[in-house]
Amino acid sequence: MWRSYSAAPQGSSPGTSLSSIGPSAGVWGPSRASFEQFGDEDSNDGKGRHGGHGAHRAGHSRSPLAEKSEQDEAYLKWQEKHPCVLTHFASFKAAVDGKRLAVFLDYDGTLTPIVSNPDEAVMSEEMRDVVRSVARAFPTAIISGRGREKVEAFVQLKELFYAGSHGMDIAGPRVDTNGYQGCGNEFVTAFQPAAHFRPLIDDIYVQLQQRLKEVPGSSVEHNNFCVSAHFRNCPGEAWQDVIAAVEELVAQHDDLRMTRGRKVVEVRPKVDWHKGTALSHLVDALGLAQEPDVVAIYVGDDHTDEDAFRTLEETRRGFGILVSTRAKPTRARYTVRDPACVKDFLSGIVEWSKSDSNGWRARPCCNGWRMNGSPAAGAGTVAPTQQ
């Protein structure tokens, strides 16, 4: 059921069948990797890398109320280009009328609020119920920068496909030789394009722990095929020490790179693989890459999610939904403000799935997934044989 791909080093052409799919309209293929930059929300001093909403302009001190008013005005102006999908749900439904949706979701900041302690980013039962319903209506995957096992433990749903480490660790429910999922809780590891980097990543994790143990408020997280150095809780300018330590360590390894997210810097293998290529891989593995009536949506809040937004925009086979309370550059078509709005949107597409406008009602299955399956207790949705 799952195809085996190999990821090429960054800067070279991927030696995979993904590259043969191509970036043309109506065909799935890999998008370009990006280097995430700091935004206003990513700096501990409120100014971002180059100033911004938190900075005082020369000679002009603004009150918090005036600054908030300015931010609100900028946000409303920004939404003219990137409208709220809840407010414009009718246009969303028109875009997917008669189509088969495939749903891809980030985790932190999307299905759960950003929290000070990454280990406490627990999904609410209300969100879990909604995501479960989405997975029974549409093929659904979570693509996260976290380690895959950690995301699975947070989400606690066996109906989903999971891609951890920014898509470098992909797994789905176990399927037997007859094409049906078993009744256990096991997952099959489907693809790990950076598996040979694991010993190096283990070593980087140990080194970063040593380098940052004296930096107050910092923490280091092992995500299997990448390492995250968090500085959300660093006081004053201590966050700069975190970035300097990571930059110095990465400079010693030609096959590693540093990327930046929301108050976090990460060490990743230098391979041409990210959330966008992971999305393409999953669409292909589900047998949907060449299906003209399939529309994929990706919901995420971070710089790293822009790779998935870009993939959808360039292939013209879907669109992104950015979760943000601030106006910022994005390749997403729609926006929502926060995880509560994400829950409302997901509830909306579950209701829409019950209508005749949902293309899955006419073709209710694909590789490894069937709409509204009724498995035995403890199992995920029933997986049929290939179409």
Q: What is the DSSP track for 2-67?
A: PPP--PPBTTS---SHHHHH-SSTTS--PPPP------GGG-TTSS-BTB-TTSPBTTB---HHHH
Say yes or no to pLDDT of 43 above 60.
Answer: no
Query: Tens of pLDDT along 59-94?
Result: 456 677 777 778 889 999 999 999 999 999 999 999
pLDDT band at 174 (very low <50, low <70, confident <90, very high): low
Q: Domain ranges in the chain? A: 81-192+276-370, 196-269
Q: Which residue has the higher pLDDT, 48 or 250?
A: 250
Cα 251 from Cα 124, distance rounded (Å): 40
Say yes or no to pLDDT of 12 above 50.
Answer: no
Query: Tens of pLDDT along 176-193?
Result: 444 444 434 555 657 899
Say yes or no to pLDDT of 139 above 50.
Answer: yes
Cα 164 from Cα 304, distance rounded (Å): 13
pLDDT at 62: 65
pLDDT at 69: 76
Does domain 81-192+276-370 fall under CATH 3.40.50.1000? My reply is yes
Mean pLDDT of 127-155: 96
| Common-topology check for domains 81-192+276-370 and 196-269 | no
Say yes or no to pLDDT of 18 above 60.
Answer: no
Six token digits for residue 91: 């246009």
Mean pLDDT of 259-284: 94
pLDDT at 186: 54
Cα 227 from Cα 202, distance rounded (Å): 9
Among 70-79, 139-148, 176-185, 199-208, whose mean pLDDT is lowest?
176-185
Among 61-70, 217-226, 322-331, whose mean pLDDT is lowest?
61-70
Q: Are 227 and 245 in contact (CB under 8 A)?
A: no
Say yes or no to pLDDT of 2 above 80.
Answer: no
Six token digits for residue 162: 């999971």
Query: Tens of pLDDT along 116-136?
Result: 888 899 999 999 999 999 999
pLDDT band at 379 (very low <50, low <70, confident <90, very high): very low
Say yes or no to pLDDT of 26 above 50.
Answer: no
pLDDT at 67: 76
Give which of 125, 202, 108 is closest to 164, Cα–Cα. Answer: 108
pLDDT at 280: 96
pLDDT band at 3 (very low <50, low <70, confident <90, very high): very low
Say yes or no to pLDDT of 39 above 90.
Answer: no
Q: Which residues contact 223 (CB under 8 A, 6 or more apart)?
A: 145, 146, 147, 150, 164, 165, 266
Cite the active site residues.
106
This prediction has a pTM of 0.78
Element (H, E) at 279: helix 275-285
The domain covering 196-269 belongs, at the CATH homologous superfamily level, to Trehalose-6-phosphate phosphatase related protein; domain 2 (3.30.70.1020)
Mean residue pLDDT across the chain: 81
pLDDT at 56: 38
**% of the chain exceeding 90 in pLDDT:** 67
β-strand partners of 108: 112
Among 67-71, 318-322, 355-359, whose mean pLDDT is lowest?
67-71
